[in-house]
């Protein structure tokens, strides 16, 4: 009977251990979900939806370069390569947001600024940027604003992702959002370009970055002294800026 009692106590202890491990796993999962936050989901959805929706502006740009500015195919190709250049220097944006806090924040202020600059760039394209120099300048600035927002959003994702499962879910949300924006723009771009012209398409695109700016204000971030530097923030941005989309 003594042996039976010992066996029963051992079984009870094992059950208690299993329950404690299960509770610990649930707690870690809950903490991870709380670390993600609704604010981050909103930022990811809007930033990547914007990247997909910019297909509307890209189509308008192609036709504007050929039809309005009367550029050759070689000149159009060269300028389109120049418009992509701001995406090549993404690590610079990461270093900037890490080492130079803007208004006391490393993430949300830069995200809001990128949205405002992007909206102003598209608005300029739709209004008075008619010369080649003005048009190319606004195109490069708008591309830099979108790329900067992409880096900041990726940095926040890296900082908030405590495990592989959370990172995978956020990556899924980002790709779904991007394809949703791209498909929507593809369906509407031809009709919009035919009805409103290139400048009309840019006017329609201009308000979209403002949603990214508004999302930036919702990001939960503790203010940092301008003289301090966080190594974890730098590491997060290096990973985000160097990864391939």
Q: What is the model's pLDDT at position 242?
A: 54
Separation CA 212–CA 232 (nearest Å): 24
| Alpha helices (H) in the chain, listed in sequence order | 2-53, 55-63, 73-88, 90-99, 108-127, 132-160, 164-205, 208-218, 231-242
pTM above 0.75, yes or no: no
Average pLDDT over residues 196-212: 86
* 201 against 130, higher pLDDT: 201
- Which residue shows structure tokens 């400048």? 199
Structure tokens belonging to residue 119: 């909206």
Distance from C-alpha of 220 to C-alpha of 98, rounded to nearest angstrom:
16
Residue 191 predicted with pLDDT over 50 = yes
Residue 30: predicted pLDDT: 38
Q: Evaluate if residue 166 carries a pLDDT over 60.
A: yes
Mean pLDDT, the chain, rounded, equals 76
Taken as a whole, the chain contains a residue count of 245
Average pLDDT over residues 181-205: 85
Distances in whole angstroms, Cα of residue 98 to Cα of each of 56, 61, 103, 225, 228: 32, 33, 13, 12, 10
pLDDT score at 20 = 46
Q: How large a percentage of the chain has pLDDT more than 90?
A: 8
């Amino acid at each position: 009977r003594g042996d039976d009692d010992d066996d029963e106590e051992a079984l009870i202890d094992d059950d208690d251990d299993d329950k404690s491990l299960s509770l610990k796993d649930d707690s870690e999962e809950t903490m991870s979900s709380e670390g993600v936050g609704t604010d981050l989901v909103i930022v990811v959805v809007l930033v990547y939806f914007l990247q997909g929706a910019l297909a509307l502006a890209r189509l308008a740009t192609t036709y504007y370069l050929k039809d309005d500015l009367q550029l050759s195919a070689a000149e159009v190709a060269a300028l389109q390569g120049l418009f992509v250049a701001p995406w090549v220097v993404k690590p610079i944006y990461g270093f900037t947001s890490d080492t130079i806090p803007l208004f006391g924040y490393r993430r949300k202020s830069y995200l809001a600024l990128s949205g405002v600059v992007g909206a102003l760039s598209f608005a300029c394209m739709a209004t008075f940027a008619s010369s080649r120099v003005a048009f190319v300048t606004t195109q490069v600035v708008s591309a830099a604003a979108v790329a900067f927002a992409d880096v900041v959003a990726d940095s926040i994702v890296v900082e908030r992702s405590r495990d592989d499962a959370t990172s995978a879910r956020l990556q899924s949300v980002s790709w779904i959002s991007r394809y949703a924006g791209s498909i929507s723009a593809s369906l509407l771009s031809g009709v919009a370009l035919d009805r409103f012209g290139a400048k009309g398409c840019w006017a329609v695109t201009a308000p979209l970055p403002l949603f990214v700016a508004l999302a930036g204000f919702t990001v939960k971030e503790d203010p940092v002294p301008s003289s301090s530097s966080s190594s974890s923030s730098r590491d997060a941005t290096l990973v985000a800026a160097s990864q391939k989309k």
